Structure 1
Amino acid sequence: MSNWFDRISASKDADSTGAFPLGARLKGAVTIDALPFRLAGEAFGFECPASPQIIEAIGVIDLGEGAQLHRLYLSDDAFLQIATSGAPGGERSVGDVALFVYVDSVHPANQAAFRQWVQQGSLLGASTYTVAHREYRRVWGEGPDQRWAPPIVFDENVHKTSATAKDYDLTVYSMLYEREPDGADRNELLLVAAEDSGPNQYVVSLALGVPLTTAEFDIT
């Protein structure tokens, strides 16, 4: 789960039908197994969204060489991210899956303010990031001891009304962090993303999440 961009870990699950993996569709529903969250108690810095969640939009990120990320944006400020790999137009294997819940956001007023988030030495890309007194260590980059690493930059096509045509796109500068919470059976993830949607449309979001297995959620 630690690096979607260097390793798409294909599993036995595959989906050769539909535009999106695992039968996902606009206005479909996602049901998340709340048991792992109940067992973890207060180990995570976020709560599992109540089920079912409606899929309000789907983002598609092309990572190259047949690898893609699909983000199912849910009704309660959360998204389910599904990594897939495979030849275009053919059967695609499902790899890493993670649930993320938005916990904070900043809206830079202009391009200059936005650039302060993504330029060398900025907080986005620092070796550690603190949220609610919890410290997360950077996953991407040459190593956690490197003081700063450039964010991963990609374009995301977002579908809100049609599975075949995007409604809009945006450029995203991202960095992934993680920590090992006591009393939990998995790491907690922090995804910091600076999004450029066009002239003077900027947002920096913080989303906490965890890896999920395909047995821990259902898409209908």
Structure 2
Amino acid sequence: MFDLLFGRRAAPTDNALPEVRNVTIGRTIILDPLAWRRFGGALHFPFDGDTMQIVAQGLVELGEGGFIHRFYTDDDVMFQAVANDRAGRELTDVTIFAPWRSSYPSRPFERPAWRERLTARSFTDEGLPEYRRAWFGDEAARQEPVTFWEELHDDRDGIVDRRIYQTSMLFARDVEGEGRELLLAIDQENEAGEVSFEIMLGMALELGEFRA
């Protein structure tokens, strides 16, 4: 009865949230903080811990057959693994992102203006330098962002607890010492129609720079 009242879906017969290199809800990720500390004060990346306690997990199925696996802490730090398969065995990219700023539009013009910022060659925000478009390159003056639904889970029963529609673009800047800092700009809307604008800063990780 409660499942019907609150709209929870039946658990899939194959169950299981993927464990990506042993990372899933309830696990702790141990990070090598030298992955970003070696760049000293050149970064704006707002995270300096060495562990992440995972309390939620997201899954995105990309149109071209890839998958994005996302793992979240209580304070919305995100560990992201891109893979060629749903099980997360064939990883192509691993990153960690931490929130920089969230805002909530209250006037009609704010959302179109934010969406337009996501199409530009470069992106900046108060307190940040310029980041150049990383997805699709920055040759074109304007580039449409990437859109997808993310299915989010609060436990490992395989039932989708909520879905969020996201429009996003990835930007990056080079950091002295052969580093690269990432900026993910997102327009997100949940199934209740609530909208927020998110800026997250991140760093790429090598496979040897984390374990769970």
Which of the five TM-score ranges fits, normalised by the shorter chain? 0.7 to 0.9
Q: Does 1:50 align with 2:49?
A: yes
- 2:119–2:169 contact (8 Å) kept in structure 1: yes
Residue 79 in 1 paired to residue 78 in 2? yes
Alignment RMSD: 2.2
Match of 1:192 among 161, 185, 188: 185
Task: Tell me, in whole angstroms, the C-alpha distance in 1 between the residues paired with 2:166 and 2:17.
Answer: 26
Given that 2:19 and 2:88 are in contact with CA atoms closer than 8 Å, whether structure 1 keeps it comes out as no
Post-superposition Cα deviations, 1:87-112, rounded to whole Å, max 9, x if no partner, equal x6x78311100111111111113776
In structure 2, list runs of 5 or more residues that go unmatched. 1-15
Deviation at 1:127, TM superposition (A): 0.7
- Map 1:1-220 → 2, pairs under 5 A: 19-86=18-85, 92-109=89-106, 113-118=110-115, 122-131=116-125, 132-141=127-136, 143-183=137-177, 185-219=178-212
Q: Deviation digits for residues 167-212 of structure 1, max 9, x if unmatched?
A: 00011001010010113x3211110011011344111110111110
Which secondary structure state, in structure 2, belongs to the residue aligned with residue 36 of structure 1? helix
Quick check: 1:53–1:76 contact (8 Å CA) kept in 2?
no
Provide the secondary structure at the position in 2 that maps to 1:123. Answer: helix
Residue 3 of structure 1 is matched in structure 2 by none
Q: Secondary structure at the match of 2:38?
A: helix
Q: Say if 1:111 and 1:22 are closer, same or farther in 2 by CA, change over 3 A.
A: farther
Measured after TM superposition, the shift of residue 51 of structure 1 is 2.9
Deviations 1:130-182 (A, max 9, x none): 132411001223x4132221110011000112341110001100101001011
Structure 2 counterpart of 1:126, one-letter code? A
Does the Cα contact within 8 Å between 1:59 and 1:158 map onto a contact in 2?
Answer: yes
> Contact between 2:165 and 2:190, CA under 8 Å: does it hold in 1?
yes
Normalising by the residue count of structure 1, what TM-score does the alignment of the two structures yield? Answer: 0.80
The amino acid across from 1:100 in the alignment is F
Instruction: Report the Cα distance in structure 1 between the residues aligned to 2:67 and 2:192, rounded to whole angstroms.
Output: 27
Match of 2:12 in 1: none
Deviations 1:56-112 (A, max 9, x none): 1111000134310011112333101101113x6x78311100111111111113776
SS at match of 2:94: strand
CA distance in 2, matches of 1:188, 1:105: 19
Amino acid at match of 2:179: R
Aligned residues: 196
Identity of aligned residues (%): 28
Q: Could you tell me whether the CA contact under 8 Å between 1:80 and 1:98 is conserved in 2?
A: yes
